Structure 1
Amino acid sequence: MIPYTYSLHKIDNTSNFGFHADDYSRFKFGDEQVASSFGRNLADGFIKDFLEDNDITEQIVVLSSPYCFIPTATFAMMNHFVYRLNHWLVENGKLVVQQAKVHRTITYKEDYGELSAEDRMKLIGNDSFHIDKDFLKGKILFFLDDIKITGSHERMILKMAKEYGLKNDIYMLYFAELVNHNIHPSFENHLNYHRIKSIFDLDEVIKGGNFCFNTRIVKYILNCEFTSFKLFLDRQTDEFIQSLYNLSLGNSYHTIESYALNLNFLKNYIVNKNYKLI
């Protein structure tokens, strides 16, 4: 199975690649305003570069990068990609897209963006992806992700497609792709943390008016040094703190030993707060 692959931005050097590293960093930590811009730009580029010259009449299903309970940053980008694409589809008399989820079973604390190509495949190779095969029958599949670095996620998606016996046409769509293989895959973390250097840098995203939780920010907070974690928590709203705890449980982060200190403090913080209210 050979998918059609499209990326809006091709990264062939470490200084000039068509988008701002600070924007990408904010996007990865929950800035939905940037996610909206990235999603719309990806849709516009794909329409111009492919869809305008290729007549697709079948039902399109758009799928974000796999997740368990907490969506990835790509999920926010996907929503705005879909909004923009639907406008074009309706204007051209075509079916609006449907959406589906790729379920994943394993969560891990390792920072994926820091790993080599070999280590990425070792880590993600232990995971398994699941999908509703019957819902997808006879439809064209658009798998979205924010960036392609080594292709390990793509290989896992195609492995899943083979295991499920999917016969669908598959399109792999990326906001950006690392095309210069002389650049180490850890360049991804250069982008991820370009704007966010400490837990306190998160405030500008969280309190900027366009924040949405994702797996990266939850893991980053739970993995933070304890003293900084406590100081950070004191600056957040009750709603944020409650959501952080609920999402952490939903992704089974209570089973990860290195998160235990911060997560137990978070639990007690909520319990004590509720007790005082009573």
Structure 2
Amino acid sequence: MIPYTYSLHKINDTVNFGFSADDYSRFKFGDDLVSKSFGKDLAEGFIKYYLQENLITEQIVVISSPYCFIPTATFAMKNAFVAQLNRWLVEHGGLVVQEAKVHRTITYKEDYGGLSAEERMELIGNDSFHIDKGFLEGKTLLFLDDIKITGSHERMILKMVKEYGLKNDIHMLYFAELVNKNIHPNIENHLNYHLVKSIFDLDEIIKSGNFAINTRIVKYILNSDFESFSVFLERQNSAFMNSLYDLSLGNSYHTIPSYEGNLNHLKSYLNQQAYKLS
């Protein structure tokens, strides 16, 4: 089974990406306005370059990139993608899409975007992926991700597909894809951190009124040095701090030694706030 692959932007050099590197960085750290723009653009591209000539009449299932408890940045992009795709499908007599989740058990905390192709496969190869096979039967699957760099995530998805014996038509859709193999995979981190250079650069995104928390921003905050983390925490409201703590527990980050100090400080801070209010 060979999936159909589509990417909206083809990265062929380290300067001209076809999209704003600052916007991409904002997207990776939870700017929902950018997420909506990226998702809409990806849907329009897929419609123009595939669906207009190859209308899918059977049920479509959209599946965002795998995650455990905290969604990835792609999840926010997926929401806008689905909305835009549904509008087009309804206008052309198609069925509105369904959604499914690939459940992922993550075994590492390293920043994936700075690694080589071999290091990526070594890390991700220990993760496990699970999906509801029965729900997918007889449907066309659209797997969404924000960027394809080495293809390691795609290989893990296809490995899961093989293990589950899925016979579905499968499409792998990406906002961007690195097509120049002479460029090191760490170009991904160049994009991820193009705008965000420190924990304090997150303030404007979080307080913009268009913020969708995701795995990357939670890990980035927890991995900050204690002094910066403490100052950052003082600037946040109670709703954000409680969400940060609950999501961290949901992803079992309390079991990761390098996050322990900051999480314990956050817990104490929340307990103090609760005591003051009681």
Asked if Structure 1 and Structure 2 have the same fold, meaning a TM-score greater than 0.5 normalized by the shorter chain, the answer is: yes
Q: Which residue of 2 aligns with 1:252?
A: 252
Q: Which residue of 2 aligns with 1:40?
A: 40
Q: Which residue of 1 aligns with 2:9?
A: 9
| Structure 1: distance between partners of 2:271 and 2:17 | 47
| Structure 2: distance between partners of 1:231 and 1:121 | 36
Q: Which amino acid aligns with 1:249?
A: L
Q: Deviations over 1:135-181 (max 9, x none)?
A: 00000000000000000000000000000000001000000000000
| Structure 1: distance between partners of 2:54 and 2:109 | 41
CA shift, 1:108, in A, is: 2.4
| Structure 1: distance between partners of 2:161 and 2:49 | 26
TM-score (norm 1): 0.99
The reply on whether 1:140 has 2:140 as its aligned counterpart is: yes
Q: Which residue of 2 aligns with 1:23?
A: 23
| Structure 2: distance between partners of 1:132 and 1:220 | 31
- 8 Å CA contact 1:107–1:251 kept in 2: the answer is no
CA shift, 1:243, in A, is: 0.3
How many residue pairs get aligned? The number is 278
- 8 Å CA contact 2:30–2:217 kept in 1: the answer is yes
Q: Within 5 A, what are the aligned runs for 1:138-177?
A: 138-177=138-177
Q: Within 5 A, what are the aligned runs for 1:1-278?
A: 1-278=1-278
| Structure 2: distance between partners of 1:218 and 1:108 | 15
TM-score (norm 2): 0.99
| Structure 2: distance between partners of 1:91 and 1:108 | 44
Which runs of structure 1 show a deviation greater than 6 angstroms over 4 or more consecutive aligned residues? Answer: none
Gaps of 5+ in 2: none
CA shift, 1:56, in A, is: 1.2
| Structure 2: distance between partners of 1:86 and 1:199 | 37
CA shift, 1:27, in A, is: 0.1
- Percent of residue pairs identical: 76
- 8 Å CA contact 1:65–1:143 kept in 2: the answer is yes
| Structure 1: distance between partners of 2:55 and 2:62 | 17
| Structure 2: distance between partners of 1:202 and 1:107 | 26
Q: Which amino acid aligns with 1:244?
A: L
Q: SS of the counterpart of 2:150? A: coil
- 8 Å CA contact 1:30–1:213 kept in 2: the answer is yes
CA shift, 1:208, in A, is: 1.0
Q: CA RMSD in A?
A: 0.5
CA shift, 1:107, in A, is: 4.5
Gaps of 5+ in 1: none
Q: Which amino acid aligns with 1:145?
A: D
Q: Deviations over 1:209-229 (max 9, x none)?
A: 100100000000000000000
